[in-house]
Amino acid sequence: MPVQSLGEFEQMVLLAIVRLEGDVYGVPITEEIERCTGRSVSPAAVYVTLRRLEEKGYVRSWMSEALPEPGGKPRRCVRVRAAGLQALREARERMDALWRGLDPALRGVR
């Protein structure tokens, strides 16, 4: 199956899931993107993107057990599928190919 290309925000969401390791849900993903990029992220954008990624077959989701804390409730957890990792790698390769040889030219650019 040909791998569909990833948008910038889709890459961010996939990378955040990979960085957090294990089963994660919307709140930590939103916070991880905000922490790493230093910009405010709309939760709605994260959930829409997760839904698109799931439609593309890059992540899978399921309802977890209740969280181990007082009043903890079940959350919708996500995990990156192999196809998602492959799409990330390909996106990285495409970007690397475009960047290759440009470092000296961009050295003076701020």
Partner 1 sequence: MSVTGEDRISPPVFAARLIGRSLPDEIRDAVLEDMDELYRRRMKKSGVLRAQLWYCVQALSFTSRFLWERMRPSSDAAQLYERERVVMTTGISWIDVKLGARMLRKYPSVSIIGGLALAAAIALGATAFEYMRSQLHPDIPLPDGDRLVQVESWNSAELGVEQRVMYDLSVWRAQLESIEDLSAVRTFERNLIAADGATAPVRVAEVTASTFPLTGVQPLVGRALLASDEAAGAQPVAVLGYELWRDRFGGDRSVIGRSIRLGRADATVVGVMPDGYAFPHSQQAWVPLSMTARAPLEGAGIKVFGRLAKGASLEKAQVELDAVSRQIAAMSPATHAQISADVRLFGTSRRTSARPIIMLVLYIGTFMFLLAACANVATLVFARTAMRESEIVVRSALGATRRRVMSQLFAESLVLAGVSAVVGLGFVTAALRYRWHQTAVVQQVPQAFWADASLEPETILYSVLLAVAGAVLIGLLPAIRATGAQVQSALQNMRGGPSMRFGGVWSVIIVLQVAFTVLCLPVSIGASSEMRNDHTKRAEFPSKQVLTVRPELDRETGNSAATELTDAEYRTRMQTVYDEFRRRVLAEPGVTSVTFADALPGMSHPMVELEAQRGSGPVFMVNANRDGNAHISRVDVNFFEAFSIPIVSGRSFQPGDAGSPAAPVVINESLARNIGGNPLGVRLRTAAEGGSEAGSWHTVVGVHRNLQMDPTDRGETDMILVPSTLADAFPATMAIHMNRTLAGFAPRLNQIATKIDPGLRLYDPASLSELIRRRDLPGILASFAAIGTAAMAVILSAAGLYALVSVSVSRRTREVGIRLALGASTFSVMRSIFARSAAQVGTGILVGNVLAVTLVSVLSSQLKLDVLVPMLGVSLLMLLVGTIACTIPARRVLRVQPTDAFREV
Of 39-98, binders to partner 1 (CB under 8 A) are: 42-45, 47-48, 51-52, 63, 70, 73-76
Choose between 30 and 80: whose C-beta lies nearer to partner 1: 30
- Classify 36 as helix, strand or coil: helix
> CB 71 → partner 1: shortest distance, Å?
8
The residues binding partner 1 (CB under 8 A) are: 25-27, 30, 42-45, 47-48, 51-52, 63, 70, 73-76
